[in-house]
Amino acid sequence: MPKGVNQLCKTEIATPIFESAVFRQSRGDWWVQLLLLMPDHLDMLVSFPTDKDTTTAISQWKEFVAKKLNIRWQRDFFDHRLRKDESLRDKADYILQNPVRRGLVTRAEDWTYVWMPSS
C-alpha cells in the first residue's frame, strides 16, 4: 500500500474490511482482539488456532480484501509475537494511540476506524 495514501479510512472501505474480519472470526480462522485502520495500513491484535498457518490466513484475507475493495497492500506483512513480559493491554493501548501520534485525532476514543469484538 502506498505510504501516506488513504485507502482504508473511508466508511465504504472500512465497513467491509471489518465485516470480512468478523466473518473469518466466526469461521474460526482467527481471533481478532483489535483491528485498527490507519489511512495507509492496519494494525491487528490477533491470535490463530494451532491448526492454522498465520502467513496463509493473513495472505488469503489480504487477497480477498484486495480483490473485493481494490486495495493495494504491501507485498508482505510484519508480525510480532507478544513475549511473556509484554502485556496484551499495553500493546492494544499503543495501537489505539496510533491515530493520535499521527495527528489524525486528539483523543484515541475519537478514532472511528477501529473494531473490537463485543465481550
- Tell me the average pLDDT of the chain: 90
Domain boundaries, the chain: 11-81
C-alpha cell read off for 41: 495500513
> For the segment 20-74, what is each residue's pLDDT rounded down to a tens digit?
999 999 999 999 999 999 999 999 999 999 998 888 999 999 999 999 999 988 7
Q: What is the pLDDT of residue 85?
A: 65
Q: What is the pLDDT of residue 77?
A: 73
Confidence band (pLDDT; 50, 70, 90) for 84?
low
- Is 53 or 79 the better-scoring residue by pLDDT? 53
What letters, b where the CB count within 10 A reaches 16 and e where it falls short, cover 38-77?
bbbbbbbbbeeeeeeeeeebbeebbeebeeebeeebeeee
Q: Length of the chain in residues, anyone?
A: 119
Q: What is the pLDDT of residue 2?
A: 59
Measured between alpha carbons, how far is 4 from 17 in angstroms, rounded to an integer? 19
- Is 112 or 55 the better-scoring residue by pLDDT? 112
